[in-house]
Structure 1
Amino acid sequence: MMEVYLDNNATTMVDPKVFEEMKPFFCDIYGNPNSLHRFGAGTHPKMVEALNFLYEGINAADEDDIIITANATESINTVIKGVWIDKILNGDKKHIITTEVEHPAVTAACRFLQSQGVAVTYLGVNAEGTIDAQQVKDCIKDETALVSVMWANNETGKIFPIKEIGQICRDAGVLFHTDATQAIGKIPVDVQDCNVDYLSFSAHKFHGPKGIGGLYVRKSCALTPLLHGGEQMGGLRAGTVDVASMVGMGWAMKLATSTMALAYEKNHISKLRDKLESAILELPDTIVIGGTENRTPNTTLISIRGVEGESMLWDLNQKGIGASTGSACASEDLEANPVMNAFGSDSELAHTGVRFSLSRFTTEEQIDYAIEVIKNAVTRLRGISSSYAYAPASHASGL
């Protein structure tokens, strides 16, 4: 039995080259970077190098800040709650704009702000699974403090019009945050070109270690820190930095955002994804959620009518294949997939989405094996379904 990991939007393996760069900081160069002695100072060269890799990876300017955090969730909460403190509690802004398909970290933070009296507008997605920049423009008002729109969706891979939204926010004098967790390492990400004020990311999504992330903050857009304590990160985020993980994140960024790596994603990984997708779509009553245009190269979310997503994952797991029904951060939630709901899918289809997400370590041999297993699983599960036999073939045309 072959093992095939197709859940890379949940997490990725650490690139062996990244792991090699991290090794010395566990047992050899282990000093606290804030200590004055040679053991602490010995960590500084590689930390500076890693930080430079992060700046280069997203094209941050020298005068901007990149704060090292524990993960993208912390980065997101730092932005949303920081803006709440600075612009809403201590100012006259009372409104935030986001979308219905954001990562749970954004949605939950916005729900918290709503409980504190903040008005939040949730933009719905269009038939292509994204939003129009004009939707943002139409919803901005004098009280708007922040717009938060993801760069790429974690379930469908759909890419949002970040450059256009950034320009709209800049022209309106509204702060703009984007969660780029699912974009970095898959498509080019440029904070200068897109007028981004805040950008959040997590290392384990682009073959770095778990437990570390970053927050880009444009100069003049400083925030009240989420964590207070020591003076680490220039007082912007208290807590001793995990040097090994910071070095790993820097090197993972360097490898993932190189011209060669991004070209490999675009030209090779997308072909493997398309091969898998096309084979599944040969089955009746299957559809790609959001369509096949304007996506990250590695992701597809497919609805297979008559097959519960959880049941499909069980069958795949028995054959050594890892996939997902959506966000890993909500994997224990048995409610219908919120992204499927946002598309207006019916109650049956809302439970049938299966996400396959590849990485640069996925091989064609693995895809061929996955295709065979998936087709056999669909045949078995539809064969024992109490409702699929009555579903009309016309369902294959769409949601």
Structure 2
Amino acid sequence: MSAAINNIEIQKAKTSKISSIDFDNLSFGKVFSDHMLLCVYKDGMWQLPKVVPYQPITLDPSSKIFHYGQSVFEGLKAYKDTDENIWLFRPEDNFRRLNISSKRLSIPELPEDYFMAGLKTLLQVDRDWIPKSEGSSLYIRPFVFASGNGFHASPADEYMFIIATAPSGSYFSGKLKVLIEQTYSRSANGGVGFAKAGGNYAGQFYPTQLAVEKGYQQVIWTDDTTHEYIEEAGAMNIFVRINDTLITAPISDRILDGITRRSILEIAKTENIPVEVRKISVKEVVEASKNGTLKEMFGAGTAAVISPIAAFGHEDKDYDLPTLENSYGALLKKRITDIQTNKSEDPFGWRVKV
């Protein structure tokens, strides 16, 4: 799906908040830039997007987002190099996945140019909001939700597409202690686990809070039927290293097709790291920990890129992972972030200049 846009209307904010922001002490997703992209679906079509000042949204209490949860989102980042160039990392993949998620929730798919040209225009308007310090970036949140009204249980007739941005520091600090979930499920066969639907994350919060109360930071999700196979780590894809082989679960209608996950798999091949995409049983991971062959576990996602796991809990017992000087996780994170920030060559064609 595509539609060409020659120019996008820009409504500039009267005053900027940027002088009040401490860019040396940014938390993740707490401070928001001056502008946002707004696009409305009505009368059976997406209207032209425009850049407007970041502002609250007014919705009727009967808006269907509140009642039936038609909402999907994406996450990506913009970076500045030392020459003040702005870069994106695989944004076309985010666009495609947003439409895959939308289709599953009966939300009208967006034209590609509305997303890509709209995003680039927004970044040019708010280019001063992109931080340059190590580990920082401009986090970008595209999302679509049902704004049409009515209590009838059916898809809405109006929607809003918004891109909001937030200058942010590192998402996670330190290593994670995680709990392998044996009761609750993140998603099910035939469900919406592969989509970035807001409700998927809402459903994770309660089991995660139970894990936090036990001293863990995150949950490792297992399959919905037997809880015998690990699938994801919190809101991230998961990788396990046994001996020298890196293993990750295959994507399915339960598991998100992570862009960072795909990037890791491609980079691992160029680094001659043995990779297996297959089901990984909880039993296999526990046994590998016991016999010393479990070398690494880490989560992979846009916000953190790679989050090392220091220990996991299973059936009231904790298992520590070794500390490695030359870990796959550290190597792969550096390869990805160097491409993202234009510090290295990009043999894959992932980096997009704005």
- Please report the TM-score for the alignment, with normalisation by the length of structure 2: 0.25
Give me the TM-score of the superposition, normalised by structure 1. Answer: 0.23
More strand per residue: 2
Structure with more of its chain in helix, by fraction: 1
